């Protein structure tokens, strides 16, 4: 379903059956996770919602699928921000209710907010590649999803700051658990956000210096 303007593609998709795809030119109330906003000028981005079967690792599978659909330079920041050369290119919002999962994907194409990246690919081609990659990765095994997510991750091995309600700590992002939680110095981080900190040491510092901090 293609629409000119909607509040959010998520709102339209939630009433549609599994298999439906909603694509819009513009959203007047695009949403991120945790009640944040997703901002894109009319026609400048891919704004789509896919109605899928619920799946325990859907958030990570959707991240892997979207990264692969975008191309070989796109990486993932935990849990599933799409990153291009250290900047946020796109985001994914998974909402589950009534036996359905609605996977919302926003990718900057011809324009991006200050500090964000854009991809410059034709939208319709990208929608088709997303559809195919989502079908493939939602049928993959958990171990395949986790292995591919680890390959694409720019979070693992990094110093991160974890911000939880009422509690913030720093540590090294060591791995992801079988359920997709991030392991930071042995502690599980199941929801929320991490902030990538600058790498320590002279070599790492000179490499990290020109990159803006990637905050999702
Ligand atoms: C996300 O949330 O990254 C998930 C975004 C999902 C958007 C799609 S568009 C189609 C579907 N319909 C919707 O209404 N939503 C989905 P989160 O990780 O919470 O990141 C949100 C944060 O990213 C904001 O607080 C901004 O800092 C930043 N942001 C907003 N718009 C951006 C953009 N166009 N490019 C890069 N960063 C952006």
Would you say 150 and 143 are in contact if contact means Cβ atoms under 8 Å apart? no
* Ligand 1 lined by 116 (C-beta under 6 Å): yes
Sheet of 182-184, strand order: 187-189, 182-184, 167-176, 159-164, 193-196
- Per-residue pLDDT averaged across 103-108, rounded? 98
Which ligand 1 atom is at minimum distance from the Cα of 48? Answer: 10
Using CA positions, which residue lies closest to atom 25 of ligand 1?
Answer: 36
Q: pLDDT class for 200, splitting at 50, 70, 90?
A: low
pTM of structure = 0.91
Please state, rounded to an integer, the average pLDDT across all residues of the chain. 91
* Ligand 1 lined by 154 (C-beta under 6 Å): no
Residue 21 phi, psi (nearest 5): -135, 130
Q: pLDDT class for 61, splitting at 50, 70, 90?
A: very high
How far apart, in whole angstroms, are the C-alpha atoms of residue 71 and residue 52?
23
- Per-residue pLDDT averaged across 8-12, rounded? 98
Separation of CA 32 and ligand 1 centre (Å): 4
Q: Which of 1, 38, 109, 215 to mutate to test the pocket of ligand 1 (most atoms within 8 A of CB)?
A: 38
How far apart, in whole angstroms, are the C-alpha atoms of residue 23 and residue 7?
12
Which ligand 1 atom is at minimum distance from the Cα of 40? Answer: 34
Q: Which residue has the higher pLDDT, 207 or 16?
A: 16
Would you say 24 and 7 are in contact if contact means Cβ atoms under 8 Å apart? no
Question: Does 207 score more than 50 pLDDT?
Answer: no
Separation of CA 174 and ligand 1 centre (Å): 26
Question: Does 205 score more than 70 pLDDT?
Answer: no
* Ligand 1 lined by 30 (C-beta under 6 Å): yes
* Ligand 1 lined by 82 (C-beta under 6 Å): no
Strand partners, 51: 102
Question: Does 206 score more than 70 pLDDT?
Answer: no
- Per-residue pLDDT averaged across 145-161, rounded? 97
pLDDT of residue 45: 97
Question: Does 209 score more than 60 pLDDT?
Answer: no
Question: Does 120 score more than 80 pLDDT?
Answer: yes
Question: Which residue has tokens 């695009």?
Answer: 30
pLDDT one-digit tens code per residue, 164-173: 888 899 999 9
Structure tokens at 98: 């009534």
Question: Does 114 score more than 90 pLDDT?
Answer: yes
């Amino acid at each position: 379903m293609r629409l000119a303007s909607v509040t959010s593609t998520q709102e339209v998709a939630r009433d549609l059956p599994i298999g439906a795809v909603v694509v819009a030119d513009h959203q007047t109330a695009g949403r991120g996770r945790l009640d944040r906003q997703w901002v894109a000028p009319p026609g400048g981005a891919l704004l789509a919602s896919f109605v899928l079967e619920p799946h325990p690792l859907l958030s990570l599978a959707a991240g892997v699928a979207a990264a692969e659909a975008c191309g070989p330079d796109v990486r993932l920041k935990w849990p599933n921000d799409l990153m291009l050369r250290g900047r946020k290119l796109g985001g994914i919002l998974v909402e589950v209710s009534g036996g359905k999962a609605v996977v919302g994907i926003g990718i900057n194409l011809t324009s991006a907010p200050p500090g964000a990246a854009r991809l410059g690919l034709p939208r319709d081609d990208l929608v088709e590649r997303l559809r195919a990659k989502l079908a493939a990765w939602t049928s993959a095994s958990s171990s395949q999803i986790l292995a591919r997510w680890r390959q694409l991750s720019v979070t693992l091995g990094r110093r991160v700051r974890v911000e939880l309600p009422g509690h913030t700590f720093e540590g090294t992002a060591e791995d992801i658990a079988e359920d997709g939680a991030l392991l930071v110095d042995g502690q599980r981080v199941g929801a929320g956000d991490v902030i990538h900190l600058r790498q320590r040491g002279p070599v790492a510092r000179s490499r990290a210096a020109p990159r803006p901090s990637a905050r999702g």
